[in-house]
Amino acid sequence: MSRVFRKWVDEYQDQAWTLARYLLKDPAEAQDACQEAFVKLWNHQDSVDPEKIRPWLMKVTRNGCLDRLRRRHPTEELQEWHQPDVVRGPMQGMQQQELGDRLKSSINGLKEPYRSLVVLRDIHQHSYEEVAAVLELNLPQVKTYLHRARKQLREQLAEVRP
Amino acid sequence: MNNENWNDDAQLDALMEQLTVEKAPASLTRRLKAIPREQGRAGSRWSWLTPPQFPRWAMAPAFAAIPLLVVAVMLMQPRQPSAAEVEQARQDLIVAFTYMDKVGVRTGSEIQTILGSELRRGVKDTLSEHLPFTEQSLKEETT
C-alpha cells in the first residue's frame, strides 16, 4: 500500500502544492496544508475510490487551505507569490513574463471559489466535471463562475496594458 | 496589442499557458514520502495480517511471553462452583423468594385495610351530609 501511496505522491504533489500556494501564498503554510491532505489520504486510502483520488485530494487540500485562511488574523498581510525581485519596467515594454506575473497576481486577488476554479480548470487542466466535484458545484455553476473569473482577470490585465 | 484584444479568451488562454503547475519543493516531497513510515500501518485494512514493524530482537521475548499470558488469563478466570454450593445457593434463593412473597401479601393486605377504611369514611361522610338517616342506619348496623 505504501508503494501505491508513493505513486500518488509522485502524481499529485505538484498539483496539491500549486493549489495550496495560490490559496495560501505562504510557502511554509502551503507545505503544511499539503502534508495534512496527504496524511488524510493515507488514513482514508481504503475508503477513497481509486479512480477519484485526484479530485478527492484537491478537495481536501482546498478545504484545508480555506480552514487555514479562516483562522488567519484578518489584518495579516501575506507576500505575493510572484518573485518580489521582478523589476517592473515601463508599461510599454512589459514583456510576456511580466504579464504572466501580473496574471498570477490577479489570480491571487480573486475571491473564492473563483481562484480555485481558475487554478483547477485553467492551470491544472481538470475537466469541468472534476472541478465541479472538487468545489461541490454543478456544471452550469462552474461555467458561470469561470466566465466571471476570466472576465475579472481580463479587466485587470486590460488596466495594465498600454 | 490594445485593450480590445483582452475581450476574448484567446489572449487570456495564451497567457494562462505560461502558468504551469509548479513543481513541489524537495522538502515537501520528502515529508510526503515519509507519511507511511510516520503514520504506521494503522490506516491499512489489512494491517492485522502484516507483522508489526518491531526490531527482530524484540520478537523472541514477545513470543515467549504468549504462553505466560495464556496461563495468567486462565488463572484469572472465575472458579466454577461445586454442586453443594449450587444447591445451597438454590435453597437460599427459595427462602428469599418465600420471604418476599410473605412480605408482599402482608403489605397488600395492609394497604387494602387502610385504603378500605379511608374509602368507607369518605363515602360515609359524603352521604351523611345529604342523607342524615345514613348516619343513623350505620349506627344501627354497628350495634
- What is the ipTM score, two decimals? 0.73
CA-CA distances (angstroms) from residue A58 to A2, A53, A105, A121, B83? 20, 9, 21, 12, 69
> Is there a single domain that holds both residue A109 and residue A140?
yes
Within-domain flag for A29: yes
**Inter-chain residue contact B12 with A2, CB threshold 8 Å:** no
Cβ-contact A42, B32 below 8 angstroms = no
Tens of pLDDT, residue by residue over A82-104, are: 443 444 444 444 566 777 778 88
Give the chain A residue nearest B18 (alpha carbons).
A100
Q: What is the residue range of A48's domain? A: 1-74
Within-domain flag for A147: yes
Ordered per-residue pLDDT tens for chain A, 162 residues: 688 888 999 999 999 999 998 888 889 999 999 999 999 999 988 888 888 899 999 999 999 998 888 887 655 545 444 443 444 444 444 566 777 778 888 888 888 889 999 888 888 888 899 889 888 899 999 999 999 998 888 888 777 665
Within-domain flag for A65: yes
> Is there a single domain that holds both residue A13 and residue A70?
yes
CATH number, domain of A129, equals: 1.10.10.10
CA torsion sign for A63, B24, A146, A111 is: positive
**Inter-chain residue contact A46 with B43, CB threshold 8 Å:** yes
CATH number, domain of A59, equals: 1.10.1740.10
Residues in chain B: 143
> Is there a single domain that holds both residue A101 and residue A68?
no
Q: Give how many domains chain B has, as a whole number.
A: 1
Chain A residues interacting with chain B (CB cutoff of 8 angstroms): 1-2, 5-6, 9, 13-18, 21, 27, 31, 34-35, 38-39, 42-46, 96-97, 99-100, 103-104, 107, 122-124, 150, 153-155, 157-158, 161-162
**Inter-chain residue contact B6 with A154, CB threshold 8 Å:** yes
Cβ-contact B1, A99 below 8 angstroms = no
> Is there a single domain that holds both residue A10 and residue A53?
yes
Within-domain flag for B60: no
Q: How far apart are CA A151 and CA A158, in angstroms?
A: 10
Mind telling me how many Å the CA of A55 is from chain B's nearest CA?
16
**How much is the pLDDT for A94?**
57
**Inter-chain residue contact A96 with B18, CB threshold 8 Å:** yes
Within-domain flag for A1: yes
Which of B6, B18, B22 comes nearest A158 by C-beta?
B6
Within-domain flag for A156: yes
Q: Give how many domains chain A has, as a whole number.
A: 2
> Is there a single domain that holds both residue A1 and residue A67?
yes
CA-CA distances (angstroms) from residue B112 to A77, A121, B115, B138? 84, 85, 5, 21
> Is there a single domain that holds both residue A113 and residue A157?
yes
Q: What is the residue range of B128's domain? A: 87-142
Within-domain flag for B113: yes
The CA dihedral of B60, B64, B66, B67, to the nearest 10 degrees, is 160
Within-domain flag for A89: no
Cis bond before residue A113 (omega within 30° of 0): yes
Within-domain flag for B80: no
Chain B residues interacting with chain A (CB cutoff of 8 angstroms): 1-3, 6-7, 9, 11-13, 15-16, 18-25, 27-29, 31-33, 35-36, 39, 42-46
Which of B3, B7, B28 comes nearest A13 by C-beta?
B28
> Is there a single domain that holds both residue A69 and residue A100?
no
Question: For residue A159, what is the enclosing H or E element?
Answer: helix A139-160
In chain B, DSSP finds a helix count (H) and a strand count (E) of 6, 0
Give the single-character DSSP code of B25.
P
> Is there a single domain that holds both residue A5 and residue A67?
yes
pLDDT at B114 over 60: yes
Q: Read off the pLDDT of each residue in B101-114 and give the average, rounded to a whole number.
A: 87
pLDDT at B75 over 80: no
Within-domain flag for A47: yes
